[in-house]
């Protein structure tokens, strides 16, 4: 397979997989709920390689080959944080307005309990601060073990970790924290592993010391309202909210004017030209350098709407693909 007259030595199956992942990642960033994350990404404030590793790293010393319940719980909690799907009261009220008359936070009683409020609620701040301080101690110890020459002080790490709290509350790794840890670890795998261990520790502590006590309050609140598991399983009788039927052709149709602005095409092209994975080039200046090299061929591979191109997409005779993406 070739791209931009450069032969791809990786298997074509892996390349198509990478192209699809890049495209879906771009679609995820375009969602309204991810507008802040997209802005932070465009300004290079997020390290996506470390974020991806952290979200998928769930190993511990005690776990063997099989996935334990603790691992599954940790992964699920991280992904709910990342996708802003924690079952807060506002989320539960949105789904069952017939059962939950109010979304007021049960801890402070002053604000609606959105996911953002869970992290900023005044009643959790002492525990949240304590967890970050403990995570700083853990990070200091790991860094001291990994390098004896470049030692960062506990205070430097504490300031950086506390400044990263908004990123941590969104399940992402900021570039500033990555750069600081990377300056000591020196190697990319070590940096990823160190950050993943610290993040996992933080989320485990948040789950145990903040989320579980908050969950106990929700159960007590449900009992006062007479909500049981049985009533939760009953079909929603509320008429206040109606889901709109799914619209056909929701994704943006492919056209030759649009495809030139698809940023994921540049990410993938940069990964071919310079090595590393496409996720290392998400909205990076390096990827922008490859705007002039890209063609419609990469877009057409992943676009199911474009039936004309599908029929030719793996054909060596296709004039549309021969320019840049050819199976050889």
Interface with Zn ion, residue 103, by CB under 5 A: no
Binding window for Zn ion (CB under 5 A); candidates: 9-17, 89-97, 98-106, 209-217? 98-106
Between the CA of residue 293 and those of 6, 79, 236, 266, 321, what are the distances in Å?
A: 11, 35, 53, 8, 14
User: Pick from 172, 171, 176: which is nearest to 152 by CA?
Assistant: 176
The minimum distance between CB 125 and Zn ion, in angstroms, equals 10
Burial of 176 (0-12, 13-18, 19+ CB in 10 A): middle
User: Is 37 one of the binding residues for Zn ion (CB under 5 A)?
Assistant: no
107 is a site residue for Zn ion (CB under 5 A): yes
Minimum gap (Å) between residue 107 Cβ and Zn ion: 5
Size of the site for Zn ion (CB under 5 A): 4
- Binding of Zn ion by 106 (CB under 5 A): no
- The label of the residue with tokens 């994921």 reads 264
Question: HEC states along 256-303?
Answer: HHHHCCCHHHHHHHHHHHHCCCHHHHCCCHHHHCCHHHCCHHHHHHHC
Nearer to Zn ion, 121 or 184 (CB): 121
Which bin fits 4, alpha (ψ -120 to 50), beta or left (φ > 0)? left
Candidate segments 61-69, 97-105, 183-191, 222-230, binder of Zn ion by CB under 5 A: 97-105
- CB of 93 vs Zn ion, minimal distance in Å: 15
Stretch binding Zn ion (CB under 5 A), from 90-98, 108-116, 135-143, 147-155: 108-116
**Minimal distance, residue 113 CB to Zn ion, in Å:** 6
By beta-carbon proximity to Zn ion, the closer residue of 107 and 269 is 107
Find how far residue 256's CA is from the centre of its chain: 30
Phi, psi of 325 (to 5 degrees): -135, 100
Given the rule CB under 5 A, which of 2-10, 42-50, 106-114, 169-177 is the region that contacts Zn ion?
A: 106-114
Pick 122 or 137: Cβ nearer Zn ion:
122
Find residue 3's DSSP bridge partners: 6
Cβ proximity to Zn ion: between 74 and 115 the closer is 115
Contact status: 90 vs Zn ion (CB under 5 A): no
The phi and psi torsions of 22 (rounded to 5 degrees) equal -60, -40
Residue 227 near Zn ion by CB under 5 A: no
Q: Which of 91, 105, 206, 272 binds Zn ion (CB under 5 A)?
A: 105
b/e for 153-174, b at 16 or more Cβ within 10 A?
eeeebbebbeebbebbbbbbbb
Site for Zn ion in 121-160 (CB under 5 A): 121
Which segment (81-89, 117-125, 129-137, 153-161) binds Zn ion by CB under 5 A? Answer: 117-125
Shortest Cβ distance from residue 167 to Zn ion (Å)?
21
According to the binding rule CB under 5 A, does residue 108 interact with Zn ion? yes
In the chain, the DSSP E strands lie at 2-3, 6-7
CB atoms within 10 A of CB 234: 11
Binding site for Zn ion (CB under 5 A): 105, 107-108, 121
């Amino acid at each position: 397979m070739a791209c931009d007259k450069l032969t791809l030595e990786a298997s074509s199956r892996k390349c198509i997989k990478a192209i699809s992942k890049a495209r879906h990642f771009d679609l995820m960033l375009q969602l309204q709920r991810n507008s802040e994350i997209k802005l932070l990404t465009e300004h290079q404030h997020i390290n996506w390689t470390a974020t991806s590793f952290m979200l998928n790293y769930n190993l511990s010393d005690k776990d063997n080959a099989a996935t334990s319940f603790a691992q599954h719980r940790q992964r699920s909690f991280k992904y709910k944080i990342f996708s802003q799907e924690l079952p807060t009261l506002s989320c539960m009220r949105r789904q069952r307005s017939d059962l939950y008359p109010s979304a007021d936070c049960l801890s402070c009683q002053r604000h609606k309990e959105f996911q953002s409020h869970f992290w900023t609620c005044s009643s959790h701040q002492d525990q949240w601060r304590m967890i970050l301080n403990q995570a700083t101690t853990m990070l200091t110890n790991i860094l001291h073990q990994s390098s004896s020459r470049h030692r960062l002080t506990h205070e430097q790490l504490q300031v950086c970790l506390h400044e990263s709290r908004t990123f941590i509350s969104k399940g992402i790794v900021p570039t500033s924290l990555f750069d600081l840890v990377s300056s000591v670890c020196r190697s990319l795998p070590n940096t990823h592993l160190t950050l993943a261990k610290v993040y996992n520790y933080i989320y485990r502590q948040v789950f145990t010391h903040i989320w579980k006590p908050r969950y106990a309050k929700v159960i007590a609140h449900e009992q006062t309202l007479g909500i049981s598991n049985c009533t939760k399983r009953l079909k929603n009788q509320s008429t206040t909210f109606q889901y709109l039927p799914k619209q056909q052709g929701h994704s943006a149709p492919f056209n030759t004017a649009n495809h030139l602005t698809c940023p994921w095409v540049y990410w993938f092209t940069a990964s071919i030209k310079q090595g590393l994975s496409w996720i290392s080039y998400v909205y990076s200046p390096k990827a922008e350098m490859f705007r002039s090299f890209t063609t419609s061929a990469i877009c057409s591979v992943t676009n199911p709407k474009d039936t004309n191109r599908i029929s030719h997409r793996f054909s060596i005779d296709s004039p549309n693909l021969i320019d840049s993406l050819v199976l050889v």
